């Protein structure tokens, strides 16, 4: 069900140093680093930390979380997106390939009613 999730951090550098250390003990490492978001795992980024935005729905004391829900294929990602939009979700990113993550990464991102960044993702391409 859960493909990956992420949290926002008030001090990304401090949090990165913390997670580099404590997750290293468990056998995990930085898999991707975009400067404002860092993904940890053994092979794929299963856990993400991101810089806390200064403004918008994700800023302030109630920081957004990010959850990536695993979808069986691209059609399921598109269906998830259509249903979310029909329910009034804010569109963050329409369904598409994300080659910067890895070949075959197909995802769509919306903001749920509480401001959380929710994604459906498959790893099989379009």
Q: Where are the domains of the chain?
A: 1-53, 64-126
Strand order in the sheet with 90-97: 29-33, 37-41, 47-51, 2-9, 65-70, 117-122, 106-111, 90-97
CATH of domain 64-126: 3.10.180.10
pLDDT given at position 62: 58
Whether the pLDDT of residue 97 is over 90: the answer is yes
* Mean pLDDT to the nearest integer, 52-63: 63
Task: Look at the block and give the residue holding tokens 């993904």.
Answer: 39
Q: How confident is the model at residue 57 (pLDDT cuts 50, 70, 90)?
A: low
Whether the pLDDT of residue 123 is over 80: the answer is yes
> What's the length of the chain?
126
Q: For the whole model, what pTM was predicted?
A: 0.74
Tell me which DSSP letter residue 85 carries.
H
Alpha-carbon distance of 71 to 62, in angstroms, equals 28
What's the pLDDT tens digit per position in 64-88? 789 998 999 999 999 999 999 998 8
**Tokens, residue 37:** 């978001």
Q: How confident is the model at residue 60 (pLDDT cuts 50, 70, 90)?
A: low
Domain 1-53 and domain 64-126 have a common topology: yes
User: What is the residue-averaged pLDDT of the chain?
Assistant: 88
Q: Identify the CATH assignment for 1-53 out of 3.10.180.10, 3.30.420.40, 3.90.580.10, 3.40.50.1820.
A: 3.10.180.10
CA-angle at 103, arms to 83 and 118, nearest 5°: 30
Whether the pLDDT of residue 124 is over 90: the answer is yes
What's the pLDDT tens digit per position in 13-40? 998 998 999 788 788 999 999 999 999 9
């Amino acid at each position: 069900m859960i493909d990956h999730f992420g949290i926002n951090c008030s001090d990304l550098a401090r949090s990165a140093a913390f997670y580099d250390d404590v997750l290293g003990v468990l056998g995990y490492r930085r898999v991707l680093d975009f400067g404002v978001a860092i993904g940890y795992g053994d092979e794929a980024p299963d856990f993400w930390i991101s810089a806390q935005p200064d403004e918008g729905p994700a800023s302030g004391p109630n920081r957004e979380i990010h959850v990536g829900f695993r979808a069986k294929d691209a059609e399921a990602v598109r269906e998830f997106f259509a249903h979310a939009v029909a329910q009034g979700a804010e569109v963050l990113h329409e369904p598409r390939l994300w080659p910067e993550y890895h070949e075959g990464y197909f995802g769509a991102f919306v903001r749920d009613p509480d401001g959380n960044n929710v994604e459906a993702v498959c790893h099989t391409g379009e």
